[in-house]
């Protein structure tokens, strides 16, 4: 698996996943899928819903702006960890490209930029979790991170 990273503006990577687009879509739009590669998720992962991601004593709430076969997009509406307050109002998107047996995922965290306080920790976290997404979808799940 290769990982392409763009440090110019927003955090962005492109990840090839050796799985059909439907499998990637399920990992991004079901609570079980989200919990499998990121952290425990509760709520409604459909467009218009809200998902709460449980980071132990802290939680992040994302509004699901789009959940289609070609794109999944969330906006962070609540973050109760002051260290990551810069996330509020940022947008996380997964654009899915069907390449047959492989799905290319263009992941962007718009608003997560090198000049904000959590850049180093957050970009390292996304490097881990985007790889974990690929591992989860292909049945090679890594252990979810607990040291965030």
**Domain definitions of the chain by residue range:** 4-137
CATH top-level class for 4-137? alpha beta
Q: Which residue has the higher pLDDT, 134 or 8?
A: 134
Residues 6+ apart with CB under 8 A from 52: 41, 42, 43, 59, 60, 61
pLDDT tens across 18-57, in order? 999 999 999 999 999 999 999 999 999 999 999 999 988 8
Residue 73 near residue 66 (C-beta atoms within 8 A): yes
pLDDT tens across 50-84, in order? 999 998 888 999 999 999 999 999 999 999 888 88
CA distance 129 to 110: 16
Neighbours of 122 (CB within 10 A): 20
Record the tokens describing residue 16, joined without a space.
Answer: 């090839």
CA distance 70 to 2: 21
Is the pLDDT assigned to residue 7 strictly greater than 80?
no
Backbone angles phi, psi at 107, to 5 degrees: -100, 130
pLDDT tens across 109-140, in order? 999 998 888 899 999 999 999 999 999 999 98
Q: Residue ranges of the alpha helices (H) in 4-144? A: 21-29, 31-37, 119-137
Is the pLDDT assigned to residue 5 strictly greater than 90?
no
- pLDDT score, position 17: 97
SS (H, E, C) 46-83: CCCCEEEEEECCEEEEEEEEEECCCEEEEEEEEECCHH
> What's the predicted TM-score (pTM) here?
0.88
Task: Determine the 3-state secondary structure of 93 from DSSP.
Answer: strand
């Amino acid at each position: 698996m290769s990982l392409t990273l763009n440090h110019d503006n927003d955090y962005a990577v492109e990840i090839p996943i050796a799985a059909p687009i439907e499998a990637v879509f399920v990992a991004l739009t079901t609570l079980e899928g989200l919990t499998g590669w990121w952290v425990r998720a509760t709520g409604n992962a459909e467009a218009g819903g809200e998902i709460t991601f449980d980071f132990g004593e802290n939680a992040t709430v994302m509004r699901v702006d789009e959940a289609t076969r070609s794109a999944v997009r969330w906006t962070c509406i609540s973050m109760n960890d002051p260290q990551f307050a810069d996330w509020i109002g940022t947008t996380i998107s997964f654009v899915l490209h069907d390449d047959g047996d492989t799905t290319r995922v263009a992941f962007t965290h718009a608003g997560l930029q090198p000049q904000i306080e959590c850049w180093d920790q957050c970009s390292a976290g996304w490097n881990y979790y985007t790889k974990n997404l690929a591992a989860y979808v292909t049945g090679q799940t890594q252990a979810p991170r607990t040291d965030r």
